[in-house]
Structure 1
Amino acid sequence: MSEQDHLFAQPQAKVADFIFNENVARVFPDMIKRSVPGYPTIVENIGVIAAQFAQPNTVLYDLGCSLGAVSQSLRRHVQCDSTKIIAVDNSTAMIQRCDEYMSAQSSMYEELQPIEVIEADILSLDLLPASVVALNFTLQFIDPEKRLSLLRKIHSALHPKGALLLSEKIRFESQADQTLLNDLHIAFKRANGYSEMEIAQKRSALENVMMIDSIEVHRQRLQEAGFTSVTPWFQCFNFASFVALP
């Protein structure tokens, strides 16, 4: 069961860098629901969109799967013969809980897509032929110098009729836009019960590990990786999701 997120509710003499450990895994559903505007809509519609691009005899990847919310959405919506979902994360705590959630989902519903849950570094993972790859708030935690090579690897593995579904926190080229959307995001977190101290301490924890890009940078990098079309399909404040076609 998920607990309420109080990880930053007490003052910390030194805020450590954010890591996806057992403490985070325990509260993650509450944390992300209260921190990422539009998250349930993004997750549900990744499954809907994926169903339009899934091809027989291919893999559907959820890279950086955390607790497997996207994988569950893929299983609910994709009905395509001879496909398999592979959920990958490098956090032991996340993968253990993800595996439990997938097993519970399998016991509740019949005829779901088969799924394999793997603990691995997606940068070193050899990708099988795939028709859908989801990077749902994952790329922003990858070393910026390694993002292009990862996207090139994904592009090489993608079926010509497949798609990359990429969700990210974004920054804005205009300082006025950046300030406005950042302020609105903070207001969203306040409205969801986070205190000023929690907001500030979590921001400090993330500043060295989550490097965000603008829509323009994402589009340019995806095109450099070989994608011919990059379409934003969702944005809420400073969070967006894209469909990139090979």
Structure 2
Amino acid sequence: MNHDKDNIYASAQDQVADFEFDQKVANVFPDMIKRSVPGYSHIIANIGVLAEQYAQPNSQVYDLGCSLGAATIAMRQRIHAPGVKIIAVDNSQAMLDRSRQFLDLEDSPTVVETLCADITQLRLEQCSFAVLNFTLQFIEPNLRSATIAQIFDGMLPGGALILSEKLRFDNNEQDRLLTEHHHDFKRANGYSDLEISQKRQAIERVLLPETSQEHISRLHQAGFRTISQWFQSFNFASFIAIK
């Protein structure tokens, strides 16, 4: 399936609106994410590897904030345990409609259900593996602890959660340096300074990053027994938490 090039912020805008996962973002999302998030393809591939290890027979696997379903597809290709169903959840119908187009190209016995829902209100059932891949950062900070606790409560013993997030750093110099490295990454992928600036204006009001320690503390408070940061590239990281 062909993907459109992300040029949403290529022209100067009088007023930059808050970023949202609407139809125009859905149309260019594969290009946008590849050129914006360092290590994204590595994270997706290894979500598949980890899902293969942790998915339990006759359980459910959740992709929470699935966007176009990249993590769902990676898990579907690797999970071999019998009776597993993947539930791909997003609150953007435009993203889900586009994800279904990608999912329908896949030939796999693993059932995928797409669900338009607010994950802060979602009760997980018989969950052996869940993914929050750059999703929690878009949730209101005062709802994040309850959301993680709800995921933990719906998990089977031995289940695992993958949490991938953009990070901020308490050390201002470190934060500034890694942010600039991220901008260099985007420039190397063809984004102009205007695009970088306007995208930052659009997203900084809706994407509210936290430190790695804040994420680890929240996971511990929810009850996860083993937590590891398994990936970092510049100011993007991924954690695995096991119940």
Normalising by the smaller structure, the TM-score range is: over 0.9
Instruction: Give how far 1:124 is off.
Output: 1.4
Of 137, 140, 157 in structure 2, the residue corresponding to residue 140 of structure 1 is 137
* Count of aligned residue pairs for this structure pair: 242
Q: Secondary structure at the match of 2:105?
A: helix
Instruction: Structure 1: give runs of 5+ residues left out of the alignment.
Output: none
Instruction: Give how far 1:176 is off.
Output: 2.0
Whether the 8 Å CA contact 1:18–1:206 is kept in 2: the answer is yes
The answer for the alignment partner of 1:219 in structure 2 is 216
The answer for the alignment partner of 2:171 in structure 1 is 174
Runs (4 or more) in structure 1 with deviation over 3 Å come to none
| Rounded Cα–Cα distance in structure 1 between residues aligned with 2:172 and 2:109 | 46
TM-score (norm 2): 0.98
Instruction: Give how far 1:128 is off.
Output: 1.3
Whether the 8 Å CA contact 1:3–1:26 is kept in 2: the answer is yes
| Rounded Cα–Cα distance in structure 2 between residues aligned with 1:146 and 1:104 | 35
1:244 equivalent in alignment to 2:229? no
| Rounded Cα–Cα distance in structure 1 between residues aligned with 2:194 and 2:110 | 43
Instruction: Output one character per residue of 1:77-110: Cα deviation in whole Å (capped at 9) or x when no partner.
Output: 11101110000001011000111111111xxx3x
Instruction: Give how far 1:129 is off.
Output: 1.3
The answer for the alignment partner of 1:128 in structure 2 is 125
Whether the 8 Å CA contact 1:62–1:70 is kept in 2: the answer is yes
The answer for the alignment partner of 2:57 in structure 1 is 56
Whether the 8 Å CA contact 1:76–1:112 is kept in 2: the answer is no
TM-score (norm 1): 0.96
Instruction: Give how far 1:127 is off.
Output: 1.4
Partner AA of 2:10 in structure 1: A
The answer for the alignment partner of 2:97 in structure 1 is 96
1:115 equivalent in alignment to 2:112? yes
Whether the 8 Å CA contact 2:19–2:206 is kept in 1: the answer is yes
Q: Secondary structure at the match of 1:20?
A: coil
The answer for the alignment partner of 1:165 in structure 2 is 162
Instruction: Output one character per residue of 1:128-151: Cα deviation in whole Å (capped at 9) or x when no partner.
Output: 110000000000000000000010
